Structure 1
Amino acid sequence: MSAPSTTAPTQQVNVSDLELPQLVEVKRQLEEELSHLTSSFAQLKQAQAKFRSCIESAKEVKRENKDKTILVPLTSSLYVPGKLRDAENVIIDVGTGYYVQKTRAQAVKYYEGKIEYIKTNLDALQETIEKKQDNMSYLLNVIQSKLHQSNNKH
Structure 2
Amino acid sequence: MASTTAPQPQQINVTDLDLPQLADVRRQLEEELTHLTNSFTQLRQAQAKFKACMDNVKQVTPERKDKTILVPLTNSLYVPGKLCDTENVVVDVGTGYYVKKTRAQAVKHYEAKVDYIRTNLEALQDTIAKKQDNMNYLINIMQMKLQEQAAPKAS
Deviation at residue 119 of structure 1 after TM alignment? 0.3
Distance 2:9 2:65 in 1: 64
- The alignment covers a number of residue pairs equal to 153
Distance 1:42 1:27 in 2: 22
1:42-81 aligned at under 5 Å gives the runs: 42-81=41-80
Determine helix, strand or coil for the equivalent of 1:2: coil
Distance 1:10 1:145 in 2: 27
- The TM-score with structure 2 as length reference comes to 0.94
Q: Which residue of 1 aligns with 2:20?
A: 21
Instruction: Please tell me the residue identity of whatever aligns with 1:68.
Output: K
Instruction: Please tell me the residue identity of whatever aligns with 1:82.
Output: G
Superposition misfits of 4+ residues, deviation over 3 angstroms: none
Cα-to-partner distance string for 1:7-62 (whole Å, 9 max, x where unaligned): 43321101011000000000000000000000000000000000000001101112
Q: Which residue of 2 aligns with 1:101?
A: 100
CA RMSD of aligned residues (A): 1.3
Distance 2:4 2:97 in 1: 46
Instruction: Please tell me the residue identity of whatever aligns with 1:108.
Output: V
Instruction: Please tell me the residue identity of whatever aligns with 1:2.
Output: A
1:2 pairs with 2:2: yes
Distance 1:135 1:78 in 2: 46
Distance 1:104 1:123 in 2: 28
Cα-to-partner distance string for 1:85-140 (whole Å, 9 max, x where unaligned): 11110000000110000111110111000000000000000000000000000000
Q: Which residue of 2 aligns with 1:130?
A: 129
Distance 2:15 2:116 in 1: 39
Instruction: Please tell me the residue identity of whatever aligns with 1:104.
Output: R
Structure 1 gaps of 5+ residues are none
Structure 2 gaps of 5+ residues are none
Q: 1:4 to 1:56 in 2, by over 3 A?
A: closer
Distance 1:128 1:98 in 2: 33
Deviation at residue 81 of structure 1 after TM alignment? 0.5
